[in-house]
Amino acid sequence: MTRAFCLAATLGVLFACVGTGCCIAQTLTGAVSSAAEGAMEGVLVSAQKDGSPITVTVVSDEHGHFHFPDGRLAPGHYALRIRAVGYELDRPQALDLGATPVEVAIRLRKTSDLAAQLTNTEWFMSMPGTAEQKRPLIECMSCHTFERIVRSAYNAETFVPVLKRMAQYANNTIVARVQPRIAAREVNDDSVRKLAAYLATIDLSSAPVWDYELQTLPRPKGRATRVVITEYDLPRKSIAPHDVRTDAHGNVWYSNFVENFLGELDPKSGANRDYPIPVLKPDFPAGTLDLEPDADGNLWLAMMFQTGLARFDMKTRTFRIFPIDSELNDDAMQQSMVMPRALDADGKVWTNDVARQAIMRLDLKTGKYQRIDPFKLLAKGHLHAPYGMAADAGNNLYVMDFGDENVVRIDAKSGATTIYPTPTPKSRPRRTMLDGSGRLWFTEFAADKLAMFDTKTESFKEWGVPTPHTYPYDVFADKNGELWSGGMASDRVLRLDPQSGRSVEYLLPRSTNIRRVFVDNSTDPVAFWAGNNHGAEILRIEPLD
């Protein structure tokens, strides 16, 4: 009986492995240590098989031990990588996995270039200067890290033309693909000179090394080490995944911020597929931003400087484009957001007109756009920026005023605007999602807070993030009521329980610029997904609790 059971079990495993094409499951375990600390907790250990786009990362525990999940690494030759601020990998740099489990002792040495390891958050912590002086730098993160600034040798004068040049780049610009705007923007000369003068005090224009101490965040501990992170390299460095989400089959879809493609990733194989989006304005910056499904599961894209909206039919795998009316479509026209979720209510899809700080609404019957100024009741001369969007069942729109401090509701039928200032002034609400209970979850980018607006009671709640200078970009409320958030600064993903206030931050294996975040609620525990906008990769976080 026992032998028969063993045989059946063995055959079962064998057939299961053949079925998934995974060969024999391997186990990689080991311990991390250094001369300075002995056994080290909170070291990220990453393994990438030669030729594979997939990297798997685990984190060492309080004894320095780590363990890759069974079956996750197939036999082959693997490159190893670590992340532990202040250290670099000494040995081994690579290993072979065969038919038997492998145990490895990983040895770290002190790094000679700490600056190369700092996150934007750590640079914020390190730089001298007032909050007012540092404030403009939160815009820089959209295109590049602070390392580029602090390693430069520009002085207060030579920085000026650099800043003025960058101001003319489209916001969908990354280092791998710089995209100038067609419509020039006015730049405030005094502001540029003030910023240039400050940057010259924190870079290497006057000394070969920084005259301030480099501050670092602590390594992960305890709960923050109980996680598996998978990175999927995309096939071109110029792919900038912005919004990421999974479909019912587990495939991952993403908007490409700097190329006219919709991307699809198979997380089992790591294979990537590009769906070319028709080019409407060939000389204008390429790429899309917001990626949202409608009620039928078809994907909508906001086409940025290509202008208009695109709908991707998930069955036919084809696009239908909804161009902006020619009389509205000038060189500054830009759509960053789209909200099609409740279009069944009235046949309308919401979007925005970034240049005019306005909302637009597409009528699917006529193909015409209606422009709505949600801030017309407020004083002119103030900066507003309609950004993250959500719609309720009646297709009433909730939009984040990223330029200021408001959540705005636009009634779908009457067009009446109700403006709700956030409790924290100048919070700059960014991306948002509406849950099934009518709660609008959003980030307060400039205030370092996650927030909730209850559309039923019309009241706010706010939660400060645990690490200052995080500048959260987006938040997702999962099926358990926990919040997941990421951004462009800290290389960390925040998981926060709004009931208890308990939180954990998962350090990521690489410098990671996160925009839209997504949680796949079909798994248990849930799985977090996001793109690395500057790193041409998609990443998945699987918490072990």
Partner 1 sequence: MRFDRVWSRAVLIVALALAVAGAARAGGVNFGDDNDSNADDGPSYFGFVREVGGPGIADAKVTAALKDGGALVTRTDIMGVYKIPGFGKDIDPDNVTISCAKDGYKQANVLRRPRDNADAKDPIEVECYLQKQ
Stretch that binds partner 1, among 96-104, 110-118, 187-195, 345-353 (CB under 8 A): 187-195
Beta-carbon contacts of 152 under 8 Å, excluding residues fewer than 6 positions away, are 159, 199, 203, 204, 205
Pick 61 or 404: Cβ nearer partner 1: 404
The reply on whether position 460 binds partner 1 by CB under 8 A is yes
Contact 144, 175 (CB under 8 A): yes
**Which residues within the stretch 220-279 sit at the binding site for partner 1 (CB under 8 A)?**
none
Q: Enumerate the β-bridge partners of residue 330.
A: none
Q: From edge to edge, which strands make up the β-sheet containing 252-256?
A: 241-246, 252-256, 261-265, 272-276
Stretch that binds partner 1, among 25-33, 191-199, 245-253, 303-311 (CB under 8 A): 191-199
Q: What angle do CA 353, 357, 362 make, to 5 degrees?
A: 30
The reply on whether position 377 binds partner 1 by CB under 8 A is yes
The reply on whether position 192 binds partner 1 by CB under 8 A is yes
Pick 249 or 456: Cβ nearer partner 1: 456
Among 98, 250, 415, 468, binds partner 1 (CB under 8 A): 415
Number of residues lying near partner 1 (CB under 8 A)? 43
The reply on whether position 180 binds partner 1 by CB under 8 A is no
Crossing angle, helix 189-202 and helix 159-167, to 10 degrees? 120
The reply on whether position 458 binds partner 1 by CB under 8 A is yes
CB 197 to partner 1: min, Å:
12
The reply on whether position 135 binds partner 1 by CB under 8 A is yes
The reply on whether position 130 binds partner 1 by CB under 8 A is no
The reply on whether position 191 binds partner 1 by CB under 8 A is yes
The reply on whether position 507 binds partner 1 by CB under 8 A is no
Q: What angle do CA 505, 90, 114 make, to 5 degrees?
A: 55
The reply on whether position 418 binds partner 1 by CB under 8 A is yes
The reply on whether position 425 binds partner 1 by CB under 8 A is yes
Stretch that binds partner 1, among 57-65, 75-83, 390-398, 423-431 (CB under 8 A): 423-431
| End-to-end C-alpha distance for the chain, whole angstroms | 36
Among residues 328, 253, 289, 321, the alpha carbon closest in space to that of 170 is found at 289
Mapping DSSP to helix (H, G, I), strand (E, B) and coil, where does residue 493 land?
strand
Pick 515 or 540: Cβ nearer partner 1: 515
Cα 185 to Cα 42: distance, rounded to the nearest angstrom: 45
Largest CA-CA distance found in the chain, in angstroms, rounded: 85
> Can you give the three-state secondary structure of 4-32, one letter per residue?
HHHHHHHHHHHHHHHHHCCCCCECEEEEE
Token duo for residue 154 = 């520009």
The reply on whether position 383 binds partner 1 by CB under 8 A is yes
The reply on whether position 403 binds partner 1 by CB under 8 A is yes
Pick 225 or 395: Cβ nearer partner 1: 395
* Residue ranges in contact with partner 1 by CB under 8 A: 132, 135-139, 163, 167, 171, 185-188, 190-192, 194-195, 377-383, 403-404, 414-421, 423, 425-426, 428, 446, 458-460
